[in-house]
């Protein structure tokens, strides 16, 4: 019986020592010093007063420019495909869906709904905010994901007819548009 107790205490002692070594190894490492020279990223504030889940540095930029119009995106959609972008444009709605439309004419591009940028909202609060404005169009600045896909043509909605889709993640500004 004593030999069984000795073996038990020996293994218990070994487990205790191993646990202590692991604890010192994983938790006893010194923390990396924090550089005071690093800028603290400030969050983007939305129309709802909420902080975004990303920062200004996360948004796609091109030659120092960090916001784009609907025409700029449609002229070179592959450049923006799959990227987090800031769009300043008019948000419009009609019976067949929601879409973006710049105030200026898109030179060399069709205004067909089949080539429009369809719009969706991740946040129901942002959609409710725009809807409450009761305006058409609404001038917006929004950050979201732009994507290209093959249209399904399942229905006559803009979403099913156009290859371009912009999912608004954060609505930064929304106000009545002059057009």
Instruction: Calculate mean pLDDT across residues 77-81.
Output: 97
When pLDDT is cut at 50, 70 and 90, the band that residue 104 belongs to is: confident
Q: Is the separation of the CB atoms in 141 and 76 below 8 Å?
A: no
In the predicted model, is pLDDT for residue 42 greater than 60? Answer: no
Q: Which residue has the higher pLDDT, 107 or 20?
A: 107
The candidate with the shortest Cα–Cα distance to 101, out of 61, 144, 140, 151, is 140
Cα–Cα distance for residue pair 153/70, rounded to 1 Å:
22
Cα–Cα distance for residue pair 2/8, rounded to 1 Å:
10
What is the pLDDT, as a whole number, of residue 85? Answer: 96
Average pLDDT of the chain? 79
Distance of CA 177 to the CA centre of its chain: 24
Q: What is the 3-state secondary structure (H, E, C) of the chain?
A: CHHHHHHHHHHHHHHHHHHHHHHHHHHCCCCCCCCCCCCCCCEEECCCCCEEEEEHHHCCCECCECCECHHHHHHCHHHHCCEEEEEEEEEEEECCEEEEECCCCCCCCCCCHHHCEEEEECCHHHHHHHHHHCCCCEEEEEEEEEEECCCCCCCCCHHHHCCEEEEEEEEEEEEECCC
Instruction: Calculate mean pLDDT across residues 21-49.
Output: 49
For the whole model, what pTM was predicted?
0.71
In the predicted model, is pLDDT for residue 86 greater than 90? Answer: yes
In the predicted model, is pLDDT for residue 79 greater than 90? Answer: yes
CATH T-level fold of 43-176: OB fold (Dihydrolipoamide Acetyltransferase, E2P) (2.40.50)
In the predicted model, is pLDDT for residue 126 greater than 90? Answer: no
Q: Is the separation of the CB atoms in 106 and 153 below 8 Å?
A: no
Cα–Cα distance for residue pair 39/59, rounded to 1 Å:
17
User: What percent of the chain has a predicted confidence (pLDDT) above 70?
Assistant: 70
Q: Is the separation of the CB atoms in 88 and 68 below 8 Å?
A: yes
When pLDDT is cut at 50, 70 and 90, the band that residue 37 belongs to is: very low
Q: Is the separation of the CB atoms in 86 and 56 below 8 Å?
A: no
């Amino acid at each position: 019986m004593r030999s069984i107790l000795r073996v038990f205490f020996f293994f218990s002692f070994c487990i205790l020592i191993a646990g202590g070594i692991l604890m010192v190894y994983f938790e006893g490492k010194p923390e990396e010093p924090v550089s005071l020279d690093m800028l603290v990223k400030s969050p983007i504030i939305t129309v709802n007063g909420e902080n975004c889940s990303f920062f200004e540095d996360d948004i796609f930029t091109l030659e120092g420019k960090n916001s784009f119009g609907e025409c700029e995106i449609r002229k070179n959609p592959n450049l923006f495909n799959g990227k987090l972008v800031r769009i300043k444009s008019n948000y419009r709605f009609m019976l067949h869906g929601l879409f973006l439309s710049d105030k200026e004419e898109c030179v060399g591009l069709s205004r067909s709904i089949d080539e429009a940028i369809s719009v969706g909202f991740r946040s129901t609060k942002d959609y409710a905010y725009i809807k409450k404005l009761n305006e058409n169009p609404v001038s917006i600045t929004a950050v979201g994901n732009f994507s290209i896909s093959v249209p399904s043509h399942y229905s006559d909605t803009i979403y099913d007819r156009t290859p371009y889709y912009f999912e608004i993640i954060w609505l930064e500004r929304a106000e009545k548009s002059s057009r």
